[in-house]
Structure 1
Amino acid sequence: MSEHPDVLLYEKEAWASGFLRLAGIDEAGRGPLAGPVVAAAVIFEPGYIERELAIVYGRLTDSKAMSEKKRDEYFDILQGAAAVQVGVGVVEPEEIDDINILKATHKAMGIAAAQVGADFALVDGLPFKGLPCGHKAIVKGDALSISISAASIIAKVTRDRMMVALD
């Protein structure tokens, strides 16, 4: 664990404060002109992530910094692990046009957080109102928090697969 001392910093702070249902939250699809915005919330069981960090998650980082093949591998690992809970929120283009992309992103994040029953969240980006739990916003969090990195991968792969299906 010493080779990656920082990727659990925010998680350890939250766990020490008593938040055991800690979700990392990130989105995909805010920049493109087509398709939905997708947010994911990922909760790791505290002991699981510390045990598995070096073996499975040692190279987990921002999804945009990974190859498609690596993202798909991590997506399957995250979706298949019993000690990992995943929630996904999707807001479709018609609603994005009605409420704007920022509100749509926040709505998708709220849906994802509610699905996993988060009691606290680490969110990539800036603070906002509307999550069903308290949160800490972390700019560039997808590279600084392993929970947000995991959410980044789930959101991006989910959205990419939706867009391929639409094609």
Structure 2
Amino acid sequence: MFGCARVIVFSACLTAAGALAQEKAAHGHMHMTQKDMRSELDFPPPMRQHMLSQMRAHLEALQAILAALGAGDPGKAGDIADKRLGLGAPGAAACDPSAKGDDPMAAMMGAHMPPEMREMGMAMHSSASAFAAVAAKARETGDLRPALAALATVTENCAACHSAFKLR
């Protein structure tokens, strides 16, 4: 179990480092030799604020998932992922162009998000749902390694989108 704890701490450090790098890049602190090749998105102000709020909520969910795994509770980690990041999470509708609903913000986001961004968002939500299923099995087996591997796929999808897009 000690090895799993190190993996969880390492994952948390990588997530924090990635968030810090994203924050520095967003504020122009990149090295002069690096060119930011991400697609710049110009969303309406209410959508921009909503998007940023959703990204913070995703990061908070990842932190709660890591805390639950660190406490040896993969079932709780899976529940958090399912409710806050999975395909049934409130923010997932904005990534699904076929979703029908009464949420005007999700409709606005769906209308303004490039198709590639929606695809990346759906991949993240889908991988979070897959993680939830794997974490439920880890509750029975006690082996966190498959859950950690599934969680790495979730954060890989997050990183891919943040590497491809930035908000103006």
TM over 0.5: no
Whichever structure has more helix as a proportion of its residues is 2
Whichever structure has more strand as a proportion of its residues is 1
Q: With structure 2 as the length reference, what TM-score do the two structures score?
A: 0.31
Q: With structure 1 as the length reference, what TM-score do the two structures score?
A: 0.31
Q: Which has the higher contact order (CA 8 A, sep 6+)?
A: 1
